[in-house]
Each structure stands twice: as structure tokens, then as C-alpha cells.
């Protein structure tokens, strides 16, 4: 079955080509359906929904003239690039790697698993740091402590990838998904605003769930099985990967922590006064869409990574001038080259899909169909979670999947009275849980290589077998957590509700 899934997944085109094909499909569908009179009305205006033929001369000219503005106005693009500028400096200076090494070295064998899981989750603030730093270091630490190194890899991989959306600290993923959700919801509600931290409270609690489940599975299920079936056949030289921090790195970490605390203190001092320019000028609130602070979250992520990153680099000696800072930012942007290409085609597809009215028609018709099934909102959300997990077996990129399905499901569920923030949370559960069992995930082969350092016979099947218990447990436990959150009415995040329109 896994071989069939892999073959099927390999037949799928690259997401860039996939968006281009979807754009062409939207053009053809709009031309075919434009003459049809649908018995559907716009939920806000009450007007009949008419499909716009995108293959007319006037529409093709509009497509060409709007191509550049559509791309530059694509909300997720600027959000992600700005956030990663600061992260790039922190990564280039060595701050992130040194911080992770420090955290992983301050524990005993008994507490290795939860500490590894915690560090793996924190590593989400830097896109690739967890895969290239935490996973191999976890194996080294487990082996040095007399435990099975593949258990360390499993725990780290589960935290980095299986708990990809779970994090105590807001990261670039939050505004990335928020931008896509907001754009998708505006197909139905042009004035919709979604807070970048709309899932923060729930995802912070989810971190505890991921750590707890991962801890129990690693120590009680996975490691005993590995010890019986996969004895260590290779022993890398001591010191590979996990090296003690030099004195300059130690000082750099301290000064970076001090600079971060001072930065947060200055931000807090700027927020506290009643007349603060960061507050909503009308209500004086901090956590409202009218508050400039809410619109400055992404720039703040940039600054709060930039300052400690530069401070660490100066003290540790990895940054000797402004050119090193620019180099860190440049490397971060180089790593985003593929995303920029994908964003261009995704922006054109989403704009065409919205302008054609196919999105609003599908949302209204789909909502009517779901309503006729009389499924409870809870069952509908569970369906979104399972569907997201299934799609993730074939399309690895979290943003690519959400770009594909958000324009359909966000407005559709809004029609059923389900808030976009809840739909986004459901997607994040399904997307994260299936990451660790699909060979099509870009870093999956890299993790197999890490495994072969210790067990020469390890392969894709080995890693899937190791990670399958985590995937199933996360999918079930995380879904139940969301349903429990919903039942108790606990807030998902800032300015987030469970129903649409949000009564708050």
C-alpha cells in the first residue's frame, strides 16, 4: 500500500505546474459555465451568482495588465519574506544552532525525550533548523546517554515535523497560513480580517499534547521495539554534531538573551500607556484589528530575531560587519526562491478563481450540499482534518496544500457558520500529523540518512514504521483536543471564534 501511495504521489506534478494547470482549468470552466443560469444567490447581496467568462478578449487583457499587481499584492508573500529576514540573520550568526545545542545538553537521560520534543517544537521558529540541527543532535545525545539513537531521531522528527504547527512561540507559519485564510475567506466576505495569531492559544496547548504523546510513545512503544528489532550497527565518532559551546558562544548566548529581554521590555513599555500609538485609537484596546500592534506582528518577528541574532554574532565573532548581516538575510531569501515562484502562480490562480465567481458558487453549493447531509459542525471539522492529512501524503508543502484547498473550504464552511480560524486550525492538525509518514515530504530522505548512520539497514520502510504510531496518535489526540476546546469554548487565539460571523 505504501509503495502504491509513493508511486501515485510521484505522478503528481510539481506544485508550480499544478497551480498553472488549475489556472487553465479555471479559465476553461468559466467559459463553459458562463452561459449557465445557476439557482444560487450571493449570501451578502442576494444577487444571482453569474460565472465570469475569463477567456473573453477583455478578460484576457485584464489578466495580463493585472498579473504584476496580483503577484505583488499576494498577502502571504511579503509576510513570509519579512519574517524570514530576521530569522535568517539569527540562523546565519549561529544563534539558533547554539541555543538548540545548549538546551539539548542541559538534561539527564530520563528527561531526554521531553526536552528533545520541546526543542524540536521551538525549532519551528526557523524553517529548516529542526531538520538539519535538532534531529541529528538528538540521535547523538540519545546514543551518548546509552539509549537507542533512532529513538532520539524519532522523538525529534515527531516534534519538528509531526507537531509542525504546534509552537509556544509565534513563527512565520502563523502569518503565512493567516494570509492564505484571509484571502480565501474574502471570496465570500471581502472585508474579512483574520488575526495572524488566531490559532496561537490552541497551538500552544497543542505543544503540550505533542510532547506528552511523543514522550510516552518514544519511551514505552518505539524505543523498546527498536531495541529488539534494530540493533545499532554503526557508531559515529564521538563529538559528531554535539560539541560543547565555546566560551565565546556561551557569552554570545547570554548577551543575545539579554538583548531579547531588553527588546521585549521596551515593547511592553511602549504598549502599556493608555495613549500608546500601538493601541486601537478608537477603543484603546491592544488585541483588536484597529490596533497598530496587530498589524506589526510580522515586523516584530523580524526585529525580535534580528537584534539577538546580531548581538550573538558580534559577541561570538560570527558577525564582523554589516556585510555578514546582509549575507544572513540574503541566504534566507535564497532559500525562499522556490516559494516565490510558487507564490506567483498561486496568486494568479487564486485571483482568477475569485474573479470568475467559481469560488463563491462552489462555496454556496457546497454549503447547501453539506447542510442537506445534516452533519454536525463537529463532524464537518473532523472531515476537514482527515482530508488534509490524506492530501498531505501527496503534496508535502503546507502552504501549497492550503493555497489549493483554502479557497474552497474556508468560504464553504463560512456558509455553514464555521469560522475561518477554526477551519485553519483543523487544517493544521491534519497537515502536521501526516508529515512524518510520507516519503514525499522533502526532508524525509534526509532523516533516513540520519538513521543509516546508526542502523545500516534502515530505509524508508523503517522510518515509516517508526513514525506511524506518532502520526496516528497525533491525528486522534489532536482532533479530540480541538473538539474539547470547542466544547469548552476556549479561545483558539487572538480575535478568533468558532462561528461565523464572529459575534465578538
pLDDT at 2: 39
Residue 309 Cα to chain centre, angstroms = 22
Distance CA 291, CA 472 (A): 40
Distance CA 86, CA 106 (A): 27
The candidate with the shortest Cα–Cα distance to 116, out of 106, 473, 126, is 106
Cis peptide before 501 (omega within 30 of 0): yes
Over its C-alpha atoms, the chain yields an Rg (Å, rounded) of 24
pLDDT at 5: 43
- What is the percentage of the chain residues whose pLDDT exceeds 90? 33
pLDDT at 474: 95
- pLDDT of 394 higher than 70: no
Comparing 66-75, 109-118, 375-384, 456-465, the range with the smallest average pLDDT is: 456-465
- pLDDT of 324 higher than 80: yes
Distance CA 405, CA 402 (A): 5
Mean pLDDT of the chain: 83
Model confidence at 218, pLDDT cuts 50, 70, 90, reads very high
The per-residue pLDDT for range 131-176, each reduced to its tens digit, is: 777 888 788 788 877 789 999 999 999 998 888 888 888 776 788 7
The per-residue pLDDT for range 248-286, each reduced to its tens digit, is: 999 999 999 999 999 999 999 999 998 899 988 887 877
Which SS3 state, helix, strand or coil, does residue 245 take?
Answer: coil
Residue with cell 491534519: 430
Distance CA 184, CA 407 (A): 4
Helix, strand, coil fractions of the chain, as percent rounded to 5: 70, 0, 30
Which grid cell sits at 289? Answer: 484589528
pLDDT at 125: 64
Model confidence at 367, pLDDT cuts 50, 70, 90, reads low
Residue with cell 482527515: 386
Which SS3 state, helix, strand or coil, does residue 499 take?
Answer: strand
The answer to whether 253 and 245 have CB atoms below 8 angstroms apart is yes
Which grid cell sits at 283? Answer: 477603543
> What distance, in Å, lies between the first and last C-alpha atoms of the chain?
47
Which grid cell sits at 384? Answer: 476537514
The candidate with the shortest Cα–Cα distance to 401, out of 61, 173, 212, 153, is 173
pLDDT at 370: 61
Distance CA 72, CA 27 (A): 22
The answer to whether 92 and 324 have CB atoms below 8 angstroms apart is yes
Which grid cell sits at 67? Answer: 498579473
pLDDT at 239: 40
Q: Enumerate the β-bridge partners of residue 41.
A: 48
Query: Residue 59 region, left (φ>0) first, then alpha (ψ -120 to 50), else beta?
Result: alpha
Distance CA 137, CA 262 (A): 30
- pLDDT of 185 higher than 70: yes
For 369-386, what is the mean pLDDT? 81
Query: Residue 146 region, left (φ>0) first, then alpha (ψ -120 to 50), else beta?
Result: left
- pLDDT of 373 higher than 90: no
- Could you give the count of Cα atoms lying within 13 Å of 389 in the half-sphere of its Cβ? 24
- Could you give the count of Cα atoms lying within 13 Å of 409 in the half-sphere of its Cβ? 23
Q: For residue 130, how many other CB atoms are within 10 A of its CB?
A: 27
Distance CA 155, CA 112 (A): 9
Amino acid at each position: 500500500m505504501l509503495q502504491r501511495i509513493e508511486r501515485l504521489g510521484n505522478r503528481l506534478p510539481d506544485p508550480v505546474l499544478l497551480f498553472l494547470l488549475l489556472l487553465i482549468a479555471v479559465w476553461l470552466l468559466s467559459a463553459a459555465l458562463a452561459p449557465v443560469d445557476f439557482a444560487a444567490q450571493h449570501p451578502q447581496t442576494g444577487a444571482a451568482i453569474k460565472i465570469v467568462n475569463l477567456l473573453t478578449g477583455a478578460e484576457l487583457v485584464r489578466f495580463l495588465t493585472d498579473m504584476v499587481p496580483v503577484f505583488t499584492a499576494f498577502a502571504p508573500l511579503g509576510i513570509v519574506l519579512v519574517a524570514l529576514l530576521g530569522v535568517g540573520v539569527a540562523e546565519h550568526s549561529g544563534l539558533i544552532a547554539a541555543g538548540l545545542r545548549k538546551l539539548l545538553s542541559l538534561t539527564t537521560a530520563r528527561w531526554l525525550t521531553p526536552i528533545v520534543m520541546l526543542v524540536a517544537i521551538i525549532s519551528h521558529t526557523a524553517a529548516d533548523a529542526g531538520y538539519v540541527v535538532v534531529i541529528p543532535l538528538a540521535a547523538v545525545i540519545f546514543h551518548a546517554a546509552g539509549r537507542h539513537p533512532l529513538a532520539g531521531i524519532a522523538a525529534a522528527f515527531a516534534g519538528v515535523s509531526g507537531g509542525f504547527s504546534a509552537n509556544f512561540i509565534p513563527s512565520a507559519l502563523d502569518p503565512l497560513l493567516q494570509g492564505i485564510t484571509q484571502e480565501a475567506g474574502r471570496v465570500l466576505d471581502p472585508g474579512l480580517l483574520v488575526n495572524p495569531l488566531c490559532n496561537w492559544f490552541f497551538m500552544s496547548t497543542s505543544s503540550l499534547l505533542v510532547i506528552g504523546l511523543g514522550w510516552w510513545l518514544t519511551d514505552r512503544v518505539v524505543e523498546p521495539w527498536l531495541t529488539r528489532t534494530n540493533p545499532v550497527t554503526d557508531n559515529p565518532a564521538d563529538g559528531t554534531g554535539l560539541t560543547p559551546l565555546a566560551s565565546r558562544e556561551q557569552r554570545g548566548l547570554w548577551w543575545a538573551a539579554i538583548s531579547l529581554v531588553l527588546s521585549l521590555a521596551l515593547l511592553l513599555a511602549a504598549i502599556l500607556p493608555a495613549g500608546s500609538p500601538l493601541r486601537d485609537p478608537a477603543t484603546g484596546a491592544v488585541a483588536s484589528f484597529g490596533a497598530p500592534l496587530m498589524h506589526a506582528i510580522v515586523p516584530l518577528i523580524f526585529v525580535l530575531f534580528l537584534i539577538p541574532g546580531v548581538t550573538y554574532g558580534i559577541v561570538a565573532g560570527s558577525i564582523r560587519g554589516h556585510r555578514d548581516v546582509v549575507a544572513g538575510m540574503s541566504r534566507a531569501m535564497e532559500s525562499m526562491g522556490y516559494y516565490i515562484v510558487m507564490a506567483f502562480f498561486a496568486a494568479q490562480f487564486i485571483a482568477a478563481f475569485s474573479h470568475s465567481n467559481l469560488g463563491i458558487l462552489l462555496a454556496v453549493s457546497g454549503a447547501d450540499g453539506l447542510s442537506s447531509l445534516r452533519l454536525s459542525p463537529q463532524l464537518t471539522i473532523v472531515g476537514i482534518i482527515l482530508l488534509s492529512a490524506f492530501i498531505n501524503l501527496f503534496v508535502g508543502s503546507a502552504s501549497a496544500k492550503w493555497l489549493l484547498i483554502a479557497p474552497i473550504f474556508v468560504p464553504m464552511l463560512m456558509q455553514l457558520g464555521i469560522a475561518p480560524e477554526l477551519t485553519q486550525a483543523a487544517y493544521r492538525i491534519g497537515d502536521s500529523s501526516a508529515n512524518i509518514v510520507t516519503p514525499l515530504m522533502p526532508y524525509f530522505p534526509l532523516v533516513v540518512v540520519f538513521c543509516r548512520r546508526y542502523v545500516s539497514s534502515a530505509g524508508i520502510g523503517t522510518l515509516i514504521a517508526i513514525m506511524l504510531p506518532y502520526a496516528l496518535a497525533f491525528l486522534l489526540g489532536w482532533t479530540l483536543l480541538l473538539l474539547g476546546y470547542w466544547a469548552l469554548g476556549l479561545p483558539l487565539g487572538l480575535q478568533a471564534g468558532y462561528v461565523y460571523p464572529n459575534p465578538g
